[in-house]
Structure 1
């Protein structure tokens, strides 16, 4: 651990592990307030692409979280020869993956609309600052003590500029949620987050991902084809308005895919999953 980090914070137990390190509970030695510290082990960053992401994470996280209460906040960052350390809000609630996996309580449209509405508010705020999350998935949507969502983990975030003029490249994200333009190796923009959020919404309402496969390669191929369907056995109770929004978010044609702001204006979101007409 960084000497300065240890001087400022008392480090406690591990609360989570990731691909490049671990997350610890910590407390400020001045205020006593409790936080989380994400420690990234530089020796695990063998790919230059991963190393570049890690070196930019603190900067992009600060940009994305500024004035964005639905994103986990970053309070300090430290770096030493061995690691990069980020001091973050401590989120002790369950994540959305846990909520979806709880089969005893299926997710209703009003609850799903509330979560997706908040998630898209968080994503839209990131996009307005030129930051693309690039790994939107249920595990990165955490509920706080008040039951509101917090978007976490900006370790894969990319920068497109506040005018959206700078494209990105690189296969970043998680197979079930990654957008087809990412899989195809094309330059892409902020709408990859909308696709991913659409997949999250599809899973919340249907209980299964829209694109399947036994391996990552098979999933990527299904994503590339982008053949969106609504099997009647799982979607027979889902409203036409919800399906309409899903078609506009999980849309292979990027020019026709909704932006985050357009999602927020959709009748299903505005009515919080209630009965509502759909505008063409």
Structure 2
């Protein structure tokens, strides 16, 4: 572990473990505020793709911080063996955990998607596409503020430049990504729309028994609102979903357009 990290922060208990390393609770000697420290063992990186993903996190978070709805980065330390990233400490439960545990009211869903879209608009204004927005990557701080995290798959765009490469997670990935076409930052809007759909219904809009079946359903993009599930969902919320989960990305809303349709009073009409 980096000696410079140890000289600046006191690491305490382990609070998480991932594919490449461990997350510890840590403290700065001059502050009682707890942080999270992600310590990545470089010997576990199997290829250049793994290394690029892990290097993306501090690079993009440093550009995007501070923003109230983007996970804040405090420090980065690196030596030949480890990469250590000090981040603001969030609650252990993600948005995925909340979706599994409790149904969302339309008001709650509206409030959360507004915060998520504010984070995405901030990213897009700075030329960054997240490319893997999903409930697992949406955290909450001690005050319950939403935080968009995990920028390992993020990419630059801008000046008309498109992106390529299949990245993302089955339920949330946009069809143009799966089709192998060049794509724009609107892939993030599709993912946010899928998250909103799941918060309002408890089920994904496109599903299957395997990843390949899910991908086929996503590519078809046949968006439906089963009356049994959506009978209490407002027409305004369903209209926004149609504009975000739009198979034709040229007609799909931008993050700013989607945000403008999210009500200030946290409830659609």
TM-score normalised to the size of structure 1? 0.90
Residue correspondence of structure 1 range 231-242 to structure 2 within 5 A: 231-242=226-237
CA distance in 2, matches of 1:221, 1:40: 35
> Residues 217, 239 of structure 1: CA spacing in aligned structure 2 closer, same or farther, 3 A cutoff?
same
Deviations 1:165-209 (A, max 9, x none): 332222222111111111122222211111111110000001001
CA distance in 2, matches of 1:166, 1:55: 22
> Residues 186, 22 of structure 1: CA spacing in aligned structure 2 closer, same or farther, 3 A cutoff?
farther
CA distance in 1, matches of 2:264, 2:31: 40
Which residue pairs with 1:83 in the alignment? 82
TM-score normalised to the size of structure 2? 0.94
* Consecutive unaligned residues in structure 1, runs of 5 or more: 276-280
> Residues 120, 213 of structure 1: CA spacing in aligned structure 2 closer, same or farther, 3 A cutoff?
same
Deviations 1:135-180 (A, max 9, x none): 211122122222221112222221114x4x3322222221111111
Which residue pairs with 1:157 in the alignment? 154
Secondary structure (helix, strand or coil) at the match of 1:263 reads helix
Which residue pairs with 2:140 in the alignment? 143
8 Å CA contact 1:79, 1:85 repeated in 2: yes
* Consecutive unaligned residues in structure 2, runs of 5 or more: none
Which residue pairs with 1:273 in the alignment? 267
Task: Kindly state the Cα deviation for residue 271 of structure 1 after the two structures are TM-superposed.
Answer: 4.5
1:16 aligns with 2:10: no
8 Å CA contact 2:36, 2:89 repeated in 1: yes
Q: CA RMSD in A?
A: 1.6
* Paired positions, count: 269
CA distance in 2, matches of 1:15, 1:65: 23
Which residue pairs with 1:278 in the alignment? none
Residue correspondence of structure 1 range 76-155 to structure 2 within 5 A: 76-92=75-91, 94-103=93-102, 106-155=103-152
The more displaced of 81-90 and 166-175 is 166-175
